[in-house]
Amino acid sequence: MTDKIKMLAAAILLIAGIAGYYYLSEGAAIVRILSVLAGVIAAVAVMWQTQPGKHFFVFAQDSVQEAKKVVWPSRKETVQTTGIVFLFVIVMAIFLWLVDAGLMWAVKMLMGRSDT
What domain count does the chain have?
A: 2
What is the per-residue burial (b if ≥16 Cβ within 10 Å, else e) of 4-16? eebbebbeebbeb
Q: What are phi and psi of 112, to 5 degrees?
A: 75, 25
pTM here is 0.52
The answer to whether residues 64 and 76 belong to one domain is no
Classified as helix, coil or strand, 24 is: coil
Does 41 score more than 90 pLDDT?
Answer: yes
Write the single-letter amino acid at 27: G
In this predicted structure, what is the pLDDT of residue 1? Answer: 81
In this predicted structure, what is the pLDDT of residue 100? Answer: 98
The string of pLDDT tens digits covering residues 2-35 is 888 998 999 999 999 999 899 988 888 899 999 9
The answer to whether residues 55 and 82 belong to one domain is no
Range of the domain at 83: 71-116
The string of pLDDT tens digits covering residues 87-115 is 999 999 999 999 999 999 999 999 987 66
Classified as helix, coil or strand, 36 is: helix
Answer with the residue of higher pLDDT: 25 or 63: 63
The answer to whether residues 49 and 101 belong to one domain is no
Q: What is the dihedral of CA 9, 10, 14, 16, to 10 degrees?
A: 20
The answer to whether residues 59 and 75 belong to one domain is no
In this predicted structure, what is the pLDDT of residue 26? Answer: 86
The answer to whether residues 37 and 82 belong to one domain is no
The answer to whether residues 60 and 78 belong to one domain is no
Average pLDDT for 66-89: 95
